[in-house]
Amino acid sequence: MIGNLPFVACVVLIILGLYTLIFKRNLIKIVIGLNLVQCGVNLFLITLGYKSDSVAPIYTMAGKEEMVLPTPQALTLTSIVIGLATTALILSFAILIYKHYKTADASKIRRLRG
């Protein structure tokens, strides 16, 4: 348990994000919740690849040949860019909704209630 504290921390971040998604009604807060979940998942991926006493997997002027796993770093890079793209799109929708209804409160907008 105590050795897995980094994983638990990532999961706590995800749970906080889910809580925000479910119980907050402000559009921007919903986007923030989604971002928290994204950050949690990205951190989870990157912590999976850590190996004790190792350096980054780059041979240029490396300290030693013990290296952490490189695949999670590549995956996380991809998923960060994907998260950024989705966030940009969702925020654009939020801007449009705000322009149309003059409010960012989801409970005042018909379809987003419930």
Partner 1 sequence: MKKYVALAALLVVSGFFLLSAIEMHSFGSPAEEDMDRYFIENAQEETSTNNVVTSIVFDYRGFDTLGEATVLFTAVVGVSLLFRRLRK
Partner 2 sequence: MMSKIVRTITNILYSSILIFGFYIIMHGHLTPGGGFQGGAVVASGIALVLIAYGYDTIKDWIKKSNLSILESIGGLAFIGVAFLGIGTTFFYNFLANSGTLFGNPTVIGINPGDLNTAGVLPLMSWAVGLKVLAGLGSIVLLMAYGIKKGDEK
Partner 3 sequence: MINEHLPALIIGIPLLAAFATPLISKINDKLRNIFVIGVLGATLCLVVSLAFNVFDNGIFVYVMGAKSTGLSLPSGYRMPIRIILEVDGMSIFMAIISSVVAFFGAIYSWAFMHKETGKDKYYTLLLILTAGMFGMEFTGDMFNFFVFLEITSIAACSLVGFKIRRGESSEAAFKTMVLYTLGALFVLFAVGILYGQYDALNIATLASRIQYTAMDKVALGLLVAGLAMKAGAVPMHMWVPDAYAEAPAPITMILVANSQASLYGIFRVCFTLYGLTISTHTVGWIIIILGILSMFIGVTMALIQKKIKRLMAYHAISQTGYMLLGVGVGLAVLSDANALNSYGLKAMEGGIFHIINHAMYKGLLFLTAGAVIYTTGKRNLNELGGLAHKMKFTTIFFIIGAAAIAGLPPFNGFASKLIIYESVYKFNPMLSIIAMLVSILTLASFVKVFQSAFLGPEIIKIKKEPKTMIFAMLCLSVIIIAFGLFPDIVVDKIVAPAANALVNSMQYIAAILGGA
Binding site for partner 3 (CB under 8 A): 14, 21, 27, 30, 34, 37-38, 41, 44-45, 48, 69, 71-72, 75, 78-79, 82, 85-86, 89-90, 93-94, 96-97, 100-101, 109-112, 114
Dig out the tokens for 62 from the structure. Answer: 């490396």
- In the shown chain, the binding pattern of residues 28 to 47 toward partner 1, with x for contact by CB under 8 A and - for none, equals ----------------x--x
Tell me the C-alpha distance between 47 and 56, whole Å.
Answer: 13
Tell me the C-alpha distance between 20 and 97, whole Å.
Answer: 20
Query: CB burial class (10 A; 0-12, 13-18, 19+) of residue 17?
Result: buried
Report what 34 binds from partner 3, partner 1, partner 2, none; CB cut-off 5-8 Å by kind: partner 3
